[in-house]
Amino acid sequence: MEQRRRIGAYGVCRDGERVLLVRGSAAADFPGVWQLPGGGLDHAEHPEAAVVREFAEETGLAVEAAGLRDAVADVTRFPDLGVALHTDRIIFDVTPTGGTLRDEVDQTTDLAAWFTPAEAAGLSLLPFTAELLGLPVTPLPARTARAPFEPAPTDRRQRFAAYGLVTDPAGRVLLTMIADGYPGAGKWHLPGGGTDHGEQPAAGLLRELVEEAGQLGRVVDLLAVDNLHNPAALGPEGRPLDWHGVRVIYRVRVDAPTEAMVTELAGGSTARAAWFAPEQISELRLTDVAVLATGRRGR
């Protein structure tokens, strides 16, 4: 079965105890099933911009992102198409700033409505929505066909990755150096990288932490989401590639640190790994995502 991926942004909008949900139309993957408002990112679109756009399209409400709530992943299989579609879902808390609630017309949702948790428990919900609302996850109806969709063009790529601001009990920060032959070679970077098909973001980060530095960590919380667009990146085939990267950054704790050591599983993109005291970080050459997470500019 062919493996494909997409990235979506969704919002939790509350009115007291009630939460706003939208229902899948006949054109949706699962007609009649309810979920949080949101949908797939356009190429080069920041997830925050995507959730604002999707709310306006699906509900008529203008919203602003008030915080980053979660990042989860799931896989939907379409046997008739021979496709397994992995969706990385970035979920924000959002606050309404204007507009009037209305239903979407002739698109992938057809109703928008407020529900208390007790009322939502009686609906057919997408699993990620049920889990986020603290409700039981029930199997979805079989979905054997849908409107055709195409893989991304070969000269355009969208990638989801998970990185960590990794610290130990002494307050040291773990960083990894990018190997020669890779973008940013010689710079110190956050541990992490692209997640595998079917892998949850936090699990992918902890796997990368073992591969790149030989450390066992635990995820503490979700810090930020970062968006990177390079319309003329050098692709693996040696030709220009319109590259869009979406990166979630977690806070990770290593309770029993050891000497940082790159394992053979790292795949060659990591040259070194090391622990640094916070005051040492300003003397290092850092990637942009490492600057964002550590709050230090480096040199």
- Within a domain: residue 209? yes
Question: Above pLDDT 70, what percent of the chain?
Answer: 92
* pLDDT value of position 66: 96
CA separation for the pair 2, 99 (Å, rounded): 41
- Within a domain: residue 51? yes
- Within a domain: residue 143? no
Last residue of a domain, one of 79, 99, 133: 133
Mind listing the pLDDT tens digit for each residue in 199-211? 999 999 999 999 9
**Structure tokens belonging to residue 182:** 């890779």
- Classified as helix, coil or strand, 212 is helix
Q: How many domains does the structure of the chain reveal?
A: 2
* pLDDT value of position 299: 61
* pLDDT value of position 156: 84
Tell whether 243 and 178 lie within a shared domain: yes
Note down the domain range covering 172.
Answer: 157-294
* pLDDT value of position 148: 52
Last residue of a domain, one of 100, 133, 166: 133
Mind listing the pLDDT tens digit for each residue in 209-268? 999 999 999 999 999 999 999 887 765 556 678 889 999 999 999 999 999 999 866 568
- Within a domain: residue 265? yes
Tell whether 203 and 287 lie within a shared domain: yes
Tell whether 63 and 112 lie within a shared domain: yes
- Within a domain: residue 187? yes
Burial of 84 (0-12, 13-18, 19+ CB in 10 A): middle
- Within a domain: residue 141? no
Tell whether 188 and 107 lie within a shared domain: no
Tell whether 162 and 263 lie within a shared domain: yes
Pairing verdict, β 173-178 and 270-276: antiparallel
Q: What's 246's domain CATH number?
A: 3.90.79.10
- Within a domain: residue 152? no
Where residue 297 falls among pLDDT bands split at 50, 70, 90?
confident
Residue with tokens 């990042």: 71
- Within a domain: residue 145? no
In 3D space, the residue among 109, 5, 124 whose CA is nearest the CA of residue 54 turns out to be 109
Q: 22-58: b or e for each residue (b if 16 or more CB lie within 10 Å)?
A: bbbbeebbbbebbbbbbbbbeebbbbbebbbbbbebb
CA separation for the pair 38, 77 (Å, rounded): 20
* pLDDT value of position 240: 75
Tell whether 192 and 258 lie within a shared domain: yes
- pTM here is 0.92
